[in-house]
Structure 1
Amino acid sequence: MADLNLNRGNSITGQAGFTLVEMMVALFVFSLLSVAGVALLRGAVNSNEVTDAKLSDMAQMQRLISLLETDLSQALPRPYRDESGEQVAAFASETGNSERGVLSFTRGGQSNINNKPRSNMVRVSYQVNDGELQRLQYEMIDGGSISQPAILLDGISGLELRFRDKRGQWVSDWQTERLSDLPRA
């Protein structure tokens, strides 16, 4: 009897390898793992593209905030004259698309490296035009020509600003009695 069991273990007549059902199950499991891997990779690539777009938007917004902060910290209480010679407030805020822009003011701190015949003050205006937030800079404070608009943000449908007046009240449209008044914030 011991011989009989020994022959079964060393039998060369038995089958070696996998059955068709086992191969089909193995291929099915492999295909499921492959599909899951491709889906995971595709999700990672899509996530990377979305993240890059969001980071680009954030960087653009940070540049805008930095530019606005620099411009507003240099704002001067100096009224200017428009093209018709009419005196305009040093700091003007208008809603909608207007000639003067959404926000217009005189700022200092503009270096004059080439010694051009101009002041170190410059008039700056921000406006929304065709869905773009643009920054305009005037060559001369009083009635000067406008430089090429710099596009700061695109995809803008509107802009809402608030200002703090001398009494500490927040107002949405800056109106002042004196032409040289500036908002506190």
Structure 2
Amino acid sequence: MHRQNGFTLLEMMVALSVFAITGLLSWQVLESGSNTQHSVTKHIHHATELQRLFAALENDLQAAIAVPAMAGSVPPDVWFRADGHTVLLNLLRDPLDPDARAPVRIVWKTEAGVLRRLQWRQGLSTSDTSPLVTQRFSVPMKLRFWQGQKWRMGWDHRDAMPTAAEITLIHPQWGEVRKIVLMGGESS
């Protein structure tokens, strides 16, 4: 009898087929895990952006100052107002720094589909054209204000603050996301 040294061609083909199938399945599992990680990371990024946007808007709205509470004459372009077009919100707010003497001017506006938050250190100065802090959000936004038992689409009152503001963000994945912020204005 003749004794064989090694494997037959058929055994080699079966072994290579098993190895190829195992490698293909492993690659598909790794690719699926990578795609899932990318999708979750993207989802977390969008959720974090919305949280940052809501937090910034809520802080600005709750710290907004009514113009008559301030001494001196205040130019109309720094009154608390919202028009729903290019400049969505214009307000003076208490500064975050307790040593600051002047209020901070905040403007929320849209430019080329991007929502921007601009901040000036000297709130009453209308000649200062360079903002101190700029934040960008790629989420469209709508605002409404509650006063006198009804919602108003805009606000342009020098001597009064709204009772509440409704922020509506339009997210491509989640649709409309709404939040109501109490502002401390007098309710009727």
TM-score under structure 2 length normalisation = 0.69
Count of aligned pairs: 158
Which residue in the other structure is 1:174 paired with? 154
- Is the 1:104–1:123 contact (alpha carbons within 8 Å) kept by the matching residues of 2? yes
Structure with bigger gyration radius: 1
Which residue in the other structure is 2:128 paired with? 145
Which residue in the other structure is 1:56 paired with? 45
One-letter identity of the residue aligned with 2:161: L
Which residue in the other structure is 2:147 paired with? 165
Q: Distance in 2 between matches of 1:109 and 1:148?
A: 13
Structure 1 residues 175 and 73, CA gap change in structure 2 (3 angstroms): closer
Q: Of 90, 99, 105, which aligns to 2:91?
A: 105
Give the alignment's Cα RMSD to 1 decimal. 2.8
Q: Which stretches in structure 1 are left out of the alignment for 5+ residues?
A: 1-11
Matches within 5 A, 1:27-66: 27-66=16-55
- Is the 1:79–1:89 contact (alpha carbons within 8 Å) kept by the matching residues of 2? no
Q: Distance in 1 between matches of 2:78 and 2:15?
A: 80
Residue aligned with 1:162, SS: strand
Greater strand share, structure number: 2
Which residue in the other structure is 1:68 paired with? 57
Q: Distance in 1 between matches of 2:37 and 2:146?
A: 41
Q: Distance in 1 between matches of 2:161 and 2:117?
A: 19
Structure 1 residues 151 and 58, CA gap change in structure 2 (3 angstroms): same
